[in-house]
Amino acid sequence: MTQDFHTYREIRQQPRVWRKAYDIIRARKAEIQSFLDANLDEDFTIVLTGAGTSAYIGDALEPALSRIRRGVRAIATTDIITDPGLYFDKDSKILLVSFARSGNSPESVGAVKAVEKAAGKVVHIFITCNENGELARMKGSHILTVLLPPETNDVSLAMTSSYSTMLLACSMIARIDHIEEEKENIDILSEKVEAAMDRYESAIRGIAGRDFSRAVFLGSGPLKGVAEECRLKLQELTDGAVMCAFDSFLGFRHGPKALVNPDSMLVYLLSSNPDIQRYELDLIRQIKSNNDVKASVIVCQRKPALEEDAYDLCVEIGIPDSVPDYFACVSYVFVGQLLGYYKSIATGLSPDSPSVSGNISRVVEGVTLYL
C-alpha cells in the first residue's frame, strides 16, 4: 500500500502537530518572554541556522520575519563552521536560533561552538525535535531549548513535519508577546492545509506519475525559501533520479531558465500579494508560450487570473490574507513533499529510505570538525 510508510504519515500529520506545537509554546510563554527580555536587545543580530532542510527554514523566515524585526539573517551551519570569521567578530552580539531534527549532526553542536568562539556575546535558542539529541542536552543560562512534539522527530530519511513545525515554532516565538492572538492563525493554517491535502492528494499523485526527469520550483520572498525545501524533497526522495532546481520568478529568467526542456516539471508557488503576482504570472505565460514541458503546477491561496491552459494543476489552499507570511508560507510545502513521496514510489524506491546509492543518510556522518 502506498500509504504504509512513515513518510506518508509524517506528511499527513502536520496540521495536527502544528496545533500541539502551539500548545507547547503557549504554555511556556512566561519562560520564553523572560529569556528574551533578559538576553535580547536591539543591538543583537538574530541568526537562523541549521544544515540542509534545517537551513532552509531560515531561508524562508529571514524575509518573513523582517516584517517584525530588522537584523534577522539566515546562515547555514555548514557555512558558519568552514569560516566563522566571515560572519562574526568580537563586536558581534548574536542570538543564534538553531534548528535541528535530531540535534546529533556534527554541524549542530559544531556551529554553536564556532559562534561562541568567534562572536563577542552569544545566546541561544535551540528548536529541536529530539529530547535525547546532543543539542538538547546542552545546558546553560544563555540557552533556551524548545522541544517540539515527539512525532516531529521524523523516522523517515526526509524531513517533513520536522521542517514545517520548527518553522512555525520560530514564528510563534517571534510573536510570543501576542501568542494568544496567534491561535486563530494556527487553527486556520491547520484546517486549510488538511483540507487541501484531502482535496488535491490524488491529483498530485497523478502529476508525480508523469515521466519527468527534472523539476523546478519557483517562489518569491519567503516562498523562494519554501521552493528550496520543495526542491530538496523531490530530489532526495527520488535518490537524484529527478534533478531539481529552485529560484525566484525574476531570477529564473537570468540564465537558469536554460534548464527547462521537454522532460521538465515546473512548480510555481504563487504569492498572495497581487503586486508580486503580476511578475509571477508573466513568467508562467512566457514559459507556456516558449516551452514544452511534462507538467506545470500552480500552488496558490486563491486561483489566479490566468489562462487555464497555462497549467496542468492548480492547488488552491485558501488561507486568507489576514494570516501573516511567517505562518502562511509553510502551507505550500506539502505539495513538494507529496510530489517527492509519490515520485519516489513511482521510481520504485522506498520513501522512508530512498537512498539506494547510500549518498545520503538520516543523520549526516563522516564530518570532521576542525574547531
pLDDT in tens, 78-96: 999 999 999 999 999 999 9
pTM: 0.95
Measured between alpha carbons, how far is 279 from 182 in angstroms, rounded to an integer? 31
Least Cα distance to 153 among 124, 125, 180, 133 occurs for 133
When the pLDDT of each residue in the chain is averaged and rounded to a whole number, the result is 93
Specify the fold of 193-346: Rossmann fold (3.40.50)
For residue 371 the three cell numbers come to 574547531
What share of the chain in percent tops pLDDT 90?
A: 87
Q: Closest by alpha carbon to 241, among 265, 268, 276?
A: 265
pLDDT > 80? residue 275: yes
Q: Give the long-range contacts of residues 309-312, CB within 8 A, separation 24 or more.
A: 310/284, 310/285, 311/268, 311/284, 312/207
- Name the CATH superfamily housing domain 6-181: Glucose-6-phosphate isomerase like protein; domain 1 (3.40.50.10490)
Beta bridge partners of 96: 47, 124
pLDDT band at 67 (very low <50, low <70, confident <90, very high): confident
Among 147, 141, 189, 150, CA closest to 34: 141
Q: Tell me the torsion sign for CA atoms 223, 79, 110, 369.
A: positive
Domain extents for the chain? 6-181, 193-346
Q: Which residues contact 360 (CB under 8 A, 6 or more apart)?
A: 157, 236
CA dihedral 49, 51, 56, 61 (to 10 degrees): -10
Closest by Cα among 159, 123, 147 to 47: 123
CA angle 57, 60, 65 (to 5 degrees): 105
Same CATH fold assignment for domains 6-181 and 193-346: yes
CA torsion angle 129 132 134 136 (round to 10)? 60
Q: What is the pLDDT of residues 197-228, one digit of tens each?
A: 999 999 999 999 999 999 999 999 999 999 99
Could you tell me the pLDDT band of residue 42, with boundaries at 50, 70 and 90? confident
